[in-house]
Amino acid sequence: MQWTHEQSPIIQSEAPKLLIQAGAGSGKTTTLVGYAQHHSRLRILYLCYNKSVEIAARGRFPRNVVNKTAHGLAYAVYGTQFSHKQTNNLRLTDIARAIDTQDWELVRDVLTTLNNYMASADDLIERCHFPRFRDRPMLTSAQERYLKQALAAAMGIWMRMTDLQDTAVQITHDGYLKLYQLSKPDLSQRFDCVLLDEGQDVNPVIADIVRIQNIRKVAVGDRHQQIYRFRGAEDALNASWMAGAEKHYLTQSFRFGPAVAHVANIILSYKGETRKLQGLGEKTLVKKALPVGLPHRTYIHRTVIGVIENALCLVTEKPKIYWVGGIDSYSVRDLEDLFYFSRQQRDLVQNKKLLRDYRDYAQYVEIAEVSQDSEMIRSIKIINMYPDLPQRILALRSCTVDKELDATITLTSAHKSKGLEWDFVGLFDDFTSDPLSPDIDPGRRDDELNLLYVAVTRAMKILAINSLVLSIMERYVDALAPGARQARG
């Protein structure tokens, strides 16, 4: 294979620490495969960020590479031990039952504290994991008592989660990953090198596992695609343990042409990026709407509500819909149950846990308002919006296909679109937070700009921008040439 002038030095590098900043569509995986082939004598661990990437990697990397997620590594050691008491996540009601309280604010704080701890590299549950009073240098006596109560409850839950005999409190996948990190695993007996993919969005637990390894480290990612900071993800590409690494850039995108690259560069300019992304793919068009008659369309949304709302509108066309991650990953089944619960049709609720956890729908609404749980609030909004929700969901399911090759429409959130690409992409108009607002927090601004950057760089042939991206582009032009917009008018 003919490598580019950016790829060749990466592939041939012998550096003990190698850092690769790879723009969207710049062939980072192909470059890593080339690196593994060139270093065929090294036993390499390719640390993937999810299971689907791991499966795809098996067909691309040579035999000297083992492809694993961090959870996969942890499962072999701890996950198997806890297989009898595993759950995907802990709910508010699980915590309330475990600490025997109806104080839903406390329950929410305990759950958040516990999740923050499991996502951290810290050994113990401490004050830094409790978010409510994080920005307060001094606390009142009442606040100190509340803090101690919440921390003690979180510690108690963690002890019960990690107790093999206590099946009343289950352990999450992040729970056994945390146990694995706390054990300080030494991977040097099995591997000579670790390739850390998506290094800009690494859980601190995973980052710590990589940090302590005394083997060659290769970290690859794109700091502008960091979109999971809200989950506690950190940018390992900028971590202290990667200081002194040999640094390279992949700026040539083979996914799209100059037009999409131009949109992406405008977005990144508001983050202060001066290194331009080059669009070397086939010609890409940027429009305000996708043309009619396309064989397939993909819509990218900011929110789960946006996905569902768009789907409920599109269903009248009787399309064949593919949902990235599956239709039920968008809370559709839970919504249906909650709808029946709200109408006191308890016999139609499939997930009986809902009936056990809440006395009635009024209590569900009350807990949602008190705890400000975003998932619960989102569900209530949709139920209020669609009184015929079960019929609409039935129509959606009848339009749903399992294989994207059979679809005429693909629906996804911006977060789930990461790492994927399509010919014809439209951005749904639910990106409502303006990242250029003078009132926005700098961290939130970068998060929203990163999401937009990820979304626009999924398109290979046609990109249909939404009103927010159009507004950002217009403001960019106006800033370069004041009065240009009036002249265009």
How do residues 370-399 score in pLDDT, each as one tens digit?
A: 888 767 887 898 899 889 999 999 999 999
Residue with tokens 């549950």: 125
Highest mean pLDDT among 148-162, 304-318, 377-391: 148-162
Neighbour count for residue 439 (Cβ, 10 Å): 5
HEC readout, the chain = CCCCCCHHHHHCCCCCEEEEEECCCCCHHHHHHHHHHHCCCCCEEEEECCHHHHHHHHCCCCCCEEEEEHHHHHHHHHHCCCHHHEECCCCHHHHHHHHCCCCHHHHHHHHHHHHHHHHCCCCCCCHHHCCCCCCCCCCCHHHHHHHHHHHHHHHHHHHHHCCCCCCCCCEEHHHHHHHHHHCCCCCCCCCCEEEECCHHHECHHHHHHHHCCCCEEEEEECHHHCCCHHHCCECHHHCHHHCCCEEEEECEECCCCHHHHHHHHHHHHCCCCCCCCEECCCCCEEECCCCCCCCCEEEEECCHHHHHHHHHHHHHHCCCEEECCCHHHHCHHHHHHHHHHHCCCHHHCCCCHHHHHCCCHHHHHHHHHHHCCHHHHHHHHHHHHCCCHHHHHHHHHHHECCCHHHCCEEEEEHHHHCCCCEEEEEECCCCCCCCCCCCCCHHHHHHHHHHHHHHHCCEEEEEECCHHHHHHHHHHHHHHCCCHHHHHC
Using 50, 70 and 90 to split pLDDT, how confident is the model at 486? low
> Residue 482 has what pLDDT?
62
pLDDT for res 377: 84
pLDDT at residue 483, as a whole number: 55
Split at pLDDT 50, 70, 90, the class of 329 is confident
Tokens of 43: 């036993």
Look at 377-386, 398-407, 415-424, 439-448 and tell me which has the smallest mean pLDDT.
377-386
Give tens-digit pLDDT for 259-303. Answer: 999 999 999 999 999 999 999 999 999 999 999 999 999 999 998
In contact, 367 and 373? CB cutoff 8 Å: yes
pLDDT at 433: 87
Cα 473 to Cα 263: distance, rounded to the nearest angstrom: 7
pLDDT for residue 445:
96
Q: How distant, in Å, are the alpha carbons of 334, 338, 359, 360, 361 from that of 343?
A: 14, 9, 13, 10, 8
* Residue % of the chain over a pLDDT of 90: 82
Percent pLDDT > 70 in the chain is: 98
What are the structural domains, with CATH classification, of the chain? Answer: 6-68+185-250 (3.40.50.300), 91-169 (no CATH)
Lowest-confidence pick of 13-17, 162-166, 404-408, 438-442: 438-442
Predicted confidence band of residue 432 (pLDDT cuts 50, 70, 90):
confident
pLDDT for res 305: 79
Mean of the per-residue pLDDT values of the chain: 93
Local confidence band at 229 (pLDDT 50, 70, 90 cut-offs): confident
In what order do the strands lie in the sheet containing 321-323?
A: 285-287, 459-464, 422-427, 297-301, 409-413, 321-323
Q: 414: pLDDT confidence band, cut at 50, 70 and 90? A: very high
Q: How confident is the model at residue 1 (pLDDT cuts 50, 70, 90)?
A: confident
Question: Which whole number is the average pLDDT over 433-445?
Answer: 93
Asked if pLDDT for residue 331 goes beyond 90, the answer is no
